[in-house]
Chains A and B, each alone.
Chain A
Amino acid sequence: MNPEQTKNITIAVSVESISKKFGETVVLEDINFEVVEGETLVLLGASGSGKTTILRIIAGLEKPGSGRVILHGKDVTNLPARERGVGVIFQSYALFPKMNVEKNIGYGLRLRKKSKAEIEEITDGLIKLTGLEEHRKKSPSQLSGGQQQRVAIARALAYNPEVLLFDEPFGALDAQIRTRLRREIRALLKEIKVPSIFITHDQEEALELGDRIAVLNEGRLEQIGTPYDVYNKPATEYVATFLGAANLLLGIINDGKFEAEDIFLKIEDDPKVRDGQSVKLVFRPEDVFLRKPENLTQNYQQLTDGFVEEINFVGAFERVVVRLNISTRQPIIVTRPKTETTAFPLTVGQRVKVGLVRFRILPNYTLASERASRMVDTL
């Protein structure tokens, strides 16, 4: 088998340099990504980032300005939605109000002129899979949000979709149900192994659901990678700050080290920066330690001193604001787990040492012109 063929078999969805404008506004700019068979990709972005437009372009509900959409090796860019065979789970679920659960699930099959027996068999299987046995004769308005969502998924699965597209599927639900459903859907998707794309603005949801996460910002793909990589190795400041909280510190590279006033940090991973370059030090609140941890196997580097300005109890952990002992008196946010707060209690005004176990060095671009300066930088 040649490599080209293997590629066609394993790649379910391929989005190739998709761009889109609404009037003069650029909504999407040169978007490229792939989803492999059985994988779940989460498109994460704030509202207006263009994530819904990507979904609609894949579904065929919107035409791209340029670029191609390829489903299982077939270029579908110019096919209408009904010939693409994708399953869309709309935010509002869009269940057909005049059809009961069974009829909703069988709709795609009836359109495909399947026999009555076949429709019944597939519908039965999906009702069992989604646990809707008691509700099969009910109309959508009699179902809870979670049940409606399961009908929407079953309805899309009925005709063996090329890919499942979820448009903010938990947006209409309250927080508790949201978490439970998320896990249910995650388990279901692992079981049926249908490639899926979720869109969401909720970072927690993205981290939990995605095999990989694609972070979108103002129509551009900032980073795509596993939840671990995107969280721990953010490629841009936007990714670092959008996905979880992050502390930022300006500095320059000197002799292969990060330098800011009397702060010096050895750089161990390879951040592709050169001496004299202005950079940002990015670190997560949970990667800061206010004393040298005992028995720490991780790499620990002393940043500087500081004093505790504020302590907030936020349930599972403690959130501390520390002002660094540098000329800007920059405040940083530190979170400490319960074990640490009991072993080493703090009071406001206390002097502390500030150390890091993990950090990232990013080139210091201002956000808006990040793309442009990145190009200059590679010259």
Chain B
Amino acid sequence: MSANLSGVRHTRGFDVIKPLSIAALLLMMLPLVLLPIASIFIFGMSKGLASFWESLTAPDAIFALQLSFVTSFWATVFNVVFGLFAAYVLSKYTFWGRNSIIVMISIPTAIPTAVAGFALLLLWGPYGLLGQYLSADTQIMFTPYAIILANIFVTFPLAFGVIMPVLETMSHSLEEASATMGATRWQTFWHITLPSLRGAIVGGALLTFARSVGEFGSTILVSGNLAGRTQTAPLYIFAKFNEGQVEAANAIAIVLALFSFLIFSVLFFARDWLEAD
């Protein structure tokens, strides 16, 4: 009977399952993903553009955005350079303990961000393992440097994770060809290996940066959350919301949301272009 039915459906050229399943998919996404994002924009704009602009240009808000971008930038620079170096070493050489190193590099993403922040406090805090030896004016915790450290920690394996597979699948004979043609290791890396990693490096950097900008759990523990001094954008949203200033929180939320769309689009569309030969 059912076999008959499906036969009929197909001969008539109309498959009910297809539109139904697509509709079901959208329906599930609506309350879970689409509506929350939409409400940021709906609420943020509900009192007009002028009000939105005023919230956005408040000095603490601008500072929070700047701090987020600057600390994320330096964390990204470090993690891309580190990821490139680690991926190069680990793909080029096989040695005892190689897999353990790969696992260790990957651990930070598995650790809850609050635990990461707490761990940094225990190391660098005024009574921490290393922090106790720092004088009062060289303390790292509760400064922007602490935010960079926290960002580095939570995004540690991201760039590595993007670069490593590309490097591993890269044909070894390219490097050998370069060597037989007279290139030193450094020349080969610079002229041959690096250009092939362009897409992976940009992808890894964007991923690291996006993740850093949004970091909350570890930042709130290590930064001190001082408005205008160590308060990043996500902390600003949290603080303003707690103070009942929903509009102020909303303006920054819109900026962060738009920013992630932007990065996502670049990742989605520009990588093919960067990787094209």
Contacts and interface: CB of A to CB of B under 8 A. Distances in A.
Interface of A: 59-61, 80-88, 90-92, 94, 96-98, 107-108, 111-112, 139-141, 155-156, 159
Contacts of A94: 171, 173-174, 176-177
Nearest to B181: A108
Contact of B182 (A61, A98, A112): A112
A61 B176 contact: yes
Describe B's contact surface by its main secondary structure.
helix
Contacts of A111: 181-183, 187
Contacts of A97: 174, 196, 277
B9 interface: no
Contacts of A140: 277
A231 to B, nearest CB: 32
Contact of A155 (B181, B191, B195, B277): B181
B90 interface: no
Interface residues of B, number: 19
B180 A61 contact: yes
A96 B188 CA distance: 11
Contacts of A88: 176-177, 180
Given A97-B196, A98-B277, A92 B183 contact: no
A82 B183 contact: yes
Nearest first, the 7 A-B pairs at minimum CB distance are A94-B177, A98-B195, A94-B173, A108-B181, A97-B277, A141-B277, A81-B179
Describe A's contact surface by its main secondary structure.
loop
Interface in B9-36: none
B171 A82 contact: no
Given A88-B176, A92-B173, A94-B173, A156 B277 contact: no
Interface string B249-277: 00000000000000000000000000001
Given A81-B176, A98-B195, A107-B191, A159 B277 contact: no
Contact of B181 (A61, A139, A141, A159): A159
Interface of B: 171, 173-174, 176-184, 187, 191-192, 195-196, 198, 277
B182 A108 contact: yes
Nearest to A87: B180
A159 B182 contact: yes
Contact of A60 (B173, B180, B183): B180
A85 B198 CA distance: 29
A90 B176 contact: yes
Nearest to B185: A82
A158 to B, nearest CB: 8
A107 B192 CA distance: 10
Contacts of B187: 111
Nearest to A158: B181
A270 B132 CA distance: 92
Contacts of B183: 82, 107, 111
Given A87-B180, A87-B181, A94-B177, 11 more contacts: A60-B180, A81-B179, A81-B180, A82-B179, A82-B180, A94-B173, A94-B174, A94-B176, A96-B178, A111-B183, A111-B187
A151 to B, nearest CB: 11
Contacts of B180: 59-61, 81-82, 84, 86-88
B186 to A, nearest CB: 11
Contacts of A83: 182
A98 B199 CA distance: 12
Nearest to A138: B277
A96 B174 contact: yes
A88 B180 CA distance: 7
Contacts of B179: 60-61, 80-82
A94 B187 CA distance: 16
B277 to A, nearest CB: 4
Nearest to A88: B180
A60 B176 CA distance: 10
Given A98-B277, A139-B277, A82 B184 contact: yes
Given A107-B181, A107-B191, A98 B196 contact: yes
Contacts of B174: 94, 96-97
A91 B174 CA distance: 11
A81 B184 CA distance: 9
